[in-house]
């Protein structure tokens, strides 16, 4: 079953400063900023899986001293969110960022943009099956450069899968750097660093399929 959720309407919750999504965005932006601060001199490659309107990365870069070093590909399927991301990007004057309208669930979407130093998987794990989450985590080293940082999110409603997700990251060769939860405890943000050797990208593979389930 594929998701029938209206992803344009879903983004409106960001505009409520008291929403869990708004609090999650604050954490994600801060973790992105920290990852950029820690990056060595030179270009910083970023890919964003199911990037939506790009609020996390574009927002984090608004006043960041490394903003001109970032070379990013944001992949999003909803054409309205793609248009919104591009409009925001035009105002932000970030020439190194590209918004691609495409299926972020397929590895083809990242050809030419990886290996990346920072991989964002936000708003994905709450909308796919448990098996697809595990498969995606195990495949993430194909998107990563050596020592890359991966930032992900997931709701904590029962059954809370975040313990298993963190274990899957460890199995895939990542070391946890941070794990934070929004004030009401409903949504978490994980940050992991790849400590194993990266893997070559296998194009033509599917990472996940969105389904109708609680989002986060």
Q: What are the residues facing 49 on neighbouring strands?
A: 75
pLDDT at residue 89, rounded to an integer:
95
pLDDT at residue 4, rounded to an integer:
67
pLDDT at residue 13, rounded to an integer:
82
Domains of the chain: 7-194 (3.40.50.150)
Q: Using CA atoms of 25, 28, 30, 34 in order, give the dihedral in degrees to the nearest 10.
A: -170
pLDDT at residue 212, rounded to an integer:
72
Q: What is the value of pTM for the model shown?
A: 0.95
Q: 118-153 b/e with 16+ CB inside 10 Å = b?
A: bbbbbbbbbbbeeebbbbbbbbbbbbbbeebbbbbb
What residues of the chain score a pLDDT lower than 50? 1
pLDDT at residue 194, rounded to an integer:
98
CA of residue 137 relative to chain centroid, distance = 12
Output the CA torsion sign for 72, 77, 79, 81.
negative
What are the DSSP E strand ranges found in 64-173? 70-76, 97-101, 116-121, 144-155
């Amino acid at each position: 079953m594929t998701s029938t959720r209206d992803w344009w309407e879903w983004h409106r919750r960001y505009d409520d400063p008291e929403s869990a999504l708004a609090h999650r965005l604050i954490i994600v932006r801060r973790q992105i900023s920290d990852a950029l601060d820690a990056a060595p001199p030179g270009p910083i490659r970023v890919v964003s899986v199911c990037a939506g309107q790009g609020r996390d990365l574009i927002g984090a870069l608004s006043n960041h001293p490394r903003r001109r070093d970032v070379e990013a590909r944001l992949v999003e399927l909803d054409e309205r969110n793609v248009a919104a991301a591009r409009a925001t990007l035009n105002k932000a004057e970030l020439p190194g960022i590209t918004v691609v309208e495409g299926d972020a669930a397929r590895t083809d979407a990242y050809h030419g943009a990886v290996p990346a130093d920072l991989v964002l998987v936000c708003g994905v794990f709450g909308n796919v099956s448990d098996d697809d989450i595990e498969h995606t985590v195990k495949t993430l080293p194909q998107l990563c450069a050596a020592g890359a940082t991966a930032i992900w999110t997931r709701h904590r409603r029962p059954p809370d899968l975040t313990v298993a997700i963190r274990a899957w990251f460890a199995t895939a060769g990542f070391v946890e750097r941070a794990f934070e939860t929004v004030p009401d405890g409903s949504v978490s943000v994980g940050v992991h660093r790849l400590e194993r050797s990266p893997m070559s990208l296998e194009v033509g593979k599917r990472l996940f399929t969105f389904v109708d389930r609680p989002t986060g």
